[in-house]
Chains A and B, each alone.
Chain A
């Protein structure tokens, strides 16, 4: 039995065309990343069946939802669609909104109480929807989509229209969903921050085509897409918390036999997702001894590739994890760096993206 969502679609519009053929894992969160107009929303609408005139083939695990001969109507596709706007029903209260899909569902994978608890909606159930804040409304919309017991959840920039504070309010709920539920999520975003925090897999779209897909760590290492290159170029690594040093406010983490210090306090044993930008990594041949940089780790050069007129990107292996370092062409020549060599990676800054890695 296939454990994938197989998506192949073609769509012609006057100023835009979509042409995709991709396999998406039936687990975890798959980010669909790209600039606006890249066709991310069109892809979700094709999968949901809302996009009339799209031709192609859609297979969820082993169920064919659409092919040349048939196409399930929207209401027969078990999807949970969370739109950019909450799209709540103004004539129903919060509870009735959440129950709308549940009443029409055939299965009940997610219970009412479970969804309400996960999204912290207990205190809102009897409220009218026009009294909700933007963040609350979007949480109700997510619960409503989950209670439809979908085979796959589609989220179209669910927090893009919210201000920073509201976004930070919703992200922990998304982390919780990720950890608690086994339903695959396809998450459209143009925010590097969101994708890095939430996603396990990544599709990169440009002008209606998919230009990269795979494990998010692998895709990020390519660093050759707009929005994912330049300043944003970097890598994700996964580590576990070893101990917290209360005196200096630092936490020691470990991965694959290597250890690093990161700022902040995290629970011992907790899995952490770390982001290391290429600009924050430098390479040296010998141990500099005394330095303000806390984290100096032995690394092996995987590959070196051009980045700009003056710089190159060096991919380093830290144990089984990989990071990128941006170095000037001059330094690379002076140090005569070559693939396969042992060097030391100086990591100036590490950002903790405290996403649970459950579901992976």
Chain B
């Protein structure tokens, strides 16, 4: 059972941390994309959306190079911390953030687009600074978008395989997440363990998505 629980807990940890970082990072990006008239906007949008179309191995390959001890970020990290980024949990978190970025940014951006400028402008004329108006008006009115972004980032990170394999490898307790463990079990023809983990993952994913859609329906009903 411990061999089941270990990868599962690691996956949950990875997904939770990645989601937290992505909401913090994705919110300003999504807000900027939603408000800007900059000529850079299409380019930034394309970059953010890249992980959706690229094979995870391609992303993983480049991340491996950049994060590796001879890569620009990897070398700096080794200098500062003494540890390598590749084949570590920290490296996995960074890689996941890139990999799941569109799943945080896109729902947020569409929520901010839907919100428009009217309420925020009204708040500004009522004495709210930009930041004040953002937190007291834009965020509460975009709760369904935040919910979708959280759930999708979380679920997508939970399900990642290719990037982890490339960047993280298969180190128990460090980078051996549930998707890798399942692959391992199948490779070694341990179908019972593979079944066990898979069914947990399927149930969990279904429960999470179901509750998201239920909550979103209630939120929509409230604002109507």
Contact = CB atoms under 8 A, between A and B. Distances in A.
A141 to B, nearest CB: 8
B121 interface: yes
Contact of B122 (A78, A83, A91, A130): A83
Interface residues of B, number: 20
A89 B121 contact: no
Contacts of B133: 75
Interface stretch (A99-107, A119-127, A219-227, A348-356): A99-107
Interface stretch (B25-33, B71-79, B123-131): B123-131
Contacts of A109: none
Nearest to B120: A87
A89 B119 contact: yes
Interface string A67-107: 00000011101111101010101110000000011001100
A90 B121 contact: no
24 contacts: A50-B124, A50-B125, A75-B124, A75-B125, A75-B130, A75-B132, A75-B133, A78-B127, A81-B122, A81-B125, A83-B121, A87-B119, A87-B121, A89-B122, A89-B141, A90-B119, A90-B141, A90-B223, A91-B140, A100-B123, A104-B128, A105-B127, A145-B126, A148-B125
B141 A74 contact: no
Nearest to A76: B127
Nearest to A50: B121
Contact of B224 (A73, A79, A83, A130): A130
A359 B58 CA distance: 73
Contacts of B124: 50, 74-75
- Size bin of chain A's contact surface: 20 to 34
A144 interface: yes
A87 B133 CA distance: 14
Residue of B124, B126, B129 with most chain A CB atoms under a 10 A cut-off: B126
Contact of B127 (A50, A75, A89, A130): A75
Nearest to B126: A101
A48 interface: yes
A89 B119 CA distance: 7
A79 B223 contact: no
B36 interface: no
A89 B224 contact: no
Contacts of B123: 89, 100
A83 B118 contact: yes
Contacts of B130: 75
A91 B127 contact: no
Interface of B: 118-119, 121-130, 132-133, 136-137, 140-141, 223-224
Contacts of B136: 100
A309 B128 CA distance: 56
A201 to B, nearest CB: 23
Given A87-B118, A91-B141, A130 B125 contact: no
Nearest to A105: B127
Nearest to B140: A91
Given A74-B124, A75-B133, A87-B121, 9 more contacts: A73-B129, A74-B125, A75-B126, A75-B129, A78-B127, A90-B119, A90-B141, A100-B126, A145-B126
Contacts of A79: 125
A327 B224 CA distance: 56
A90 to B, nearest CB: 5
Most buried by A among B122, B136, B141, B224: B122
A81 B122 CA distance: 7
A74 B120 CA distance: 11
Given A87-B118, A90-B141, A91-B141, A101 B223 contact: no
Contact of B223 (A81, A85, A130): A130
A31 B132 CA distance: 32
Contacts of A78: 127
Contacts of A50: 121, 124-125
Nearest to B129: A75
Kindly list the 5 A-B residue pairs having the minimum CB-CB distance in the complex, ordered from nearest.
A104-B127, A101-B126, A81-B125, A87-B122, A74-B124
A5 B166 CA distance: 67
Contacts of A100: 123, 126, 128, 136
A144 B126 CA distance: 8
A87 B128 CA distance: 15
Nearest to B223: A90
A180 to B, nearest CB: 21
B150 to A, nearest CB: 18
Given A75-B124, A101-B126, A89 B223 contact: no
B201 to A, nearest CB: 35
Contacts of A148: 125-127
Contacts of B122: 81, 83, 87, 89, 141
Contacts of A48: 125
Contacts of B140: 91
A79 B122 CA distance: 11
Most A-side CB within 10 Å, residue of B119, B123, B127, B133: B127
A242 to B, nearest CB: 45
A80 B122 CA distance: 9
Contacts of B119: 87, 89-90
A75 B128 contact: yes
A101 B122 CA distance: 10
A83 to B, nearest CB: 7
